[in-house]
Structure 1
C-alpha cells in the first residue's frame, strides 16, 4: 500500500508496524468523531457537530493520500495536529471543561500518538502543547465557575487543570519510559540479529545463508563441475611437537587467514580446515572453466605465500595441494554448530591427489587440466594410482601462462 521506508532501529518491520498502528488509530478516531458529530447535531449544537465532522473529512482525505510518496508523514502530522486542536476547539465552543464534559482530554491522544509514530523528542513537544491547551482551557473556564463549596473559584479551576495535567504527565512519562526501553530492546535485538546473520554469512555461502534465514531445510544440492582443493602443510606435525600451543595456533591462524584472503580474491568457498589441512572449492556458481581457473590461481598464490611465511620465520615447512573437478553433493548438516560440506567421489579424488603430491607440488587431475590448459602450464605425470581408488591421469601445475 505504501512505498518502502528506510530501516529504522529494527528495520522495515517497525516501520510497517507504525504504518498499521497509525491507520488503525485513524479509523478508530474517525469512528468516534462520527458518533460525536451525530450526537451534537441531534441536540442542535451544529457548530460543535461541525468540529468532529471536519476531523472525519480531513482524516479520510489524508488516508487517500497514503499512496503518495510522503503519504505516511502527511497522515501522521495531520492526525497529531487534529487530535490536539479539535477537542480544544470543541471545548471552547461548548463553554469550558464542565460544559463540554472535559472533551479536551481527547487532545492527550496527540502526544501519545506521537510517542508511537514520531519518536520521544517530537512527542515531548506535542505534550507541551497539550499542557498549554489545558492552561488556556482553565482561563476559559474561570468566569463560568459556580461555587458549590468553600473553595475559591480560582482554586477550583486550578485543581481541575492540575488533575487533568497530573494524570496526563504520569501517563506520558510512563509511556515515554516504556517506548525508550522498547527502542533500546529493539536496538539490541537488531544488533544481535545482525551479528548472527554475519556469523552465518561467514560460515556459509551467501545463497545457502539466505535459504537458512528463510528456514528452508533440509538443504541438499547436487552440483556438477565443482573444483575441489585440498592443501596440507607438510612438516607441521613435527613443528607442533616442539612448540607451545600459542605459537602453533598463531602460525596456523596466519597461514589460513592468508588462504582465506586468497579464496575470497579468487571467488572460492572455504569448506573447512582439518588440523593443518585446508579445504576449499569453486563451482558453487559460475562457469566450470572460470571456477577451475580460480582454483588453480589459488593454489599457485597459496604456495608462493606459504614459502614467504616459512622463509621469514625460518621454518622447515612446505605445502602440497591436490585439485580435482567433478560432481559433488553439497548441503548443511546438524541443528547446532551446523556446517556446509560437500561429499562424493570427486572429493575423495582431490584428497587422494593431495596425499600423493610431493612437498611443494600442486597435483591436478586431467578433468581439471582440460578446463585450464589454455591459461596455465602443467606437466603430465601419467596415470597415477590413488589409494582406495582407480588410477587417474595426473598433472603438476607449474605456473600461469603470461
Structure 2
C-alpha cells in the first residue's frame, strides 16, 4: 500500500497520479451535471415570464443567460487537454455560478413576498446543489474546497446582508448555510478518503501485477507468453541456430572444499557474468544445469549470424575467468562447446514452465564442450563454416563423441587434454 501523510500520498509522483486518475474518472459526471444545470436554468427562464413581472423577468433573463453561458463554457473547458491538471477551473466556474444564483434568489424571493406567497416549502434555486457538486468535483483537494466554501459564504453574506432587515431571518439563514456546509465538507472528505483507499489498492495490485509479469517475461519469451495466455501451444522450429554449452572445470572438487554459501557465490558470479555477456551479444539464455550454462543464438532473440554471435559471446564469457578465480579463491576454468544447426523450441508442462530447446544440435554442443581445452572453445564444422572470424581456431581434427561417432572439431585456446568423456545424464 502507498504511504499517506496529512491526507495525501507521501510520494508526490503518486499523489499527482492519484489526482489525475480521480479527475479523469469524474469527468463524465462533471459534464452531465453541467448539462443538467443548464437545463434547470433554461426551465426557470421559460417559467419566469408566467409568474414574474416584466421588469424582474428581464433581470432574471440576463442572470440566467449569464449562468447558462458560464455553465456552457465550463463544460467546454472539460474537453481541453489541460483541464485535468487545473482544478482552479472548477473552483472559478462554480464560484461564478453560485454568485449568479445568489442574485437570482434575491429577485425570486422578493417576487414571492410581493405576491404574499407562503414560504413554508419554497427554496427557489437551492445553492446546496452547487455546493454538493463542488464537494464532489474538488474531492482530493480539501484546502481548495474549504477556500471555496469560505468565498461562497462571503458571496452569500454580501448578497443577503444589504437586503435582510430581520435578525431572526439572518440567524436562520446562517444556521441553514452552516449545516449545509458541514454536510458538504463531510461528503468531500468521504469521497477523498474512499478514492485514496481505492487508488492505493489499485496501485498495490498494479505493482504486484508488474512484478509477476516481469518474472514471467524473465522466464519465457514475450511471444510465448502471449500464446500461453491465448491457450495456444508453444512450439517453434529454428532452421539455423547456434547452441552454446559452457561448463565449469573442477566444480566437483571445489564443492567438496568450500562451504555451501561460498559455492553459491561462485556459481552466482559465473551465471551473472554469462547473463551480462548474453545481453551484450544478443544471445538467449536457455537455462542452467548444475554448474553448466546453456544458451542459444538465433532462437527467440534475433541474431544476424548465429555462429559469430555465439563465438563472440563465448570469448566474452572466457574473458571473465580471472575474476571468477578471484571469487572462488582457487583455480577454476570453463569449457565451451558450440554447434550450429536446426533446433526445436517450446514450452511443455503446466507447472514451473520454461521455454526450452531440443534436438541433435543441443546434444552435439554438450558433447563438444567435453572436448574443449580448459578456458577454450570447441566448435563443430557446421559452426566453423558459418563463422566469418576463423583465425583463432586451429586446424580441424576428429573426435570420437559419445552417441555421435567421429566428428570434425575445431579448437580455440590452450591445447586440449585427451580425457574420457563423462556421462551427461541430461542429454537425450
> TM-score when scaled to structure 2?
0.75
What 5-or-longer segments of structure 1 have no aligned partner? 1-7
Alignment of 1:134-283 (within 5 A): 134-141=153-160, 152-205=168-221, 208=224, 211=226, 217-283=232-298
Give the 5 Å matches for 1:383-398: 383-389=398-404, 391-398=406-413
> What's 1:26 paired with?
31
Paired with 1:376 and 1:319, the residues of 2 have a C-alpha distance of 21
For the 8 Å contact 1:114–1:126, the answer to whether it is kept is: yes
Shift of 1:135: 4.4
Quick one: distance in 2 between partners of 1:213 and 1:90? 60
Cα offsets for 1:280-325 (capped at 9, x unmatched): 1111344442x32221122223223225533675524332221111
Give me the whole-angstrom Cα distance separating, in 2, the residues matched to 1:392 and 1:14. Answer: 68
Give 1:34 deviation, angstroms.
1.5
- Asked whether 1:325 is paired with 2:340, we answer yes
Give distance in 1, aligned partners of 2:364 and 2:18: 48
> Offset of 1:266 from its aligned partner?
1.7
Contact 1:288/1:371, CA 8 A, preserved across alignment: no
Q: What secondary structure, in the 3-state scheme, does the structure 1 residue paired with 2:178 have?
A: helix
Q: Deviations over 1:23-77 (max 9, x none)?
A: 44303421342233123322234245324421453256446x54xx546558x65
Quote the Cα distance in structure 1 between the aligned partners of 2:125 and 2:165: 15
Q: Which residue of 1 aligns with 2:93?
A: 82
| Cα distance in structure 1, aligned partners of 2:366 and 2:24 | 56
TM-score (norm 1): 0.79
Deviations 1:170-200 (A, max 9, x none): 1111122223323333333343334334334
- Could you say which residue in structure 2 is the equivalent of 1:4? none
Distance 2:259 2:231 in 1: 44
Contact 2:379–2:410, Cα closer than 8 Å, also in 1: yes
- The separation in 2 between residues aligned to 1:33 and 1:131, in whole angstroms, is 25
Aligned residues: 378
Counterpart-to-counterpart distance in 2, 1:264 and 1:383: 33
The alpha carbon displacement at 1:350 in A equals: 1.4
Q: Find the aligned partners of 2:67 and 2:350 in 1 and give their Cα distance.
A: 58
Contact 2:343 2:362 in 1 (8 A): yes
Q: What's the RMSD between the two structures over aligned residues?
A: 3.6
State the match for 2:138 in structure 1: 114
Cα separation, 2, equivalents of 1:375 and 1:12: 56
* Counterparts of 1:218 and 1:272, CA distance in 2: 21
TM-aligned CA deviation for residue 166 of structure 1: 0.9
Do the aligned residues in 2 keep the contact of 1:90 with 1:100 (CA within 8 Å)? no
Contact kept in structure 2, 1:230 and 1:280, CA below 8 Å: yes
How far apart are the structure 2 equivalents of 1:219 and 1:83?
58
State the structure with more CA Rg.
Answer: 2
Q: Conserved in 1, the CA contact under 8 Å of 2:243 and 2:361?
A: yes
SS for the counterpart of 1:95 is: helix
Structure 2: gaps of 5 or more residues? 1-12, 50-59, 110-121, 415-428
Quote the Cα distance in structure 2 between the aligned partners of 1:11 and 1:132: 26
**Whole-angstrom distance in 2 between the partners of 1:340 and 1:132:** 65
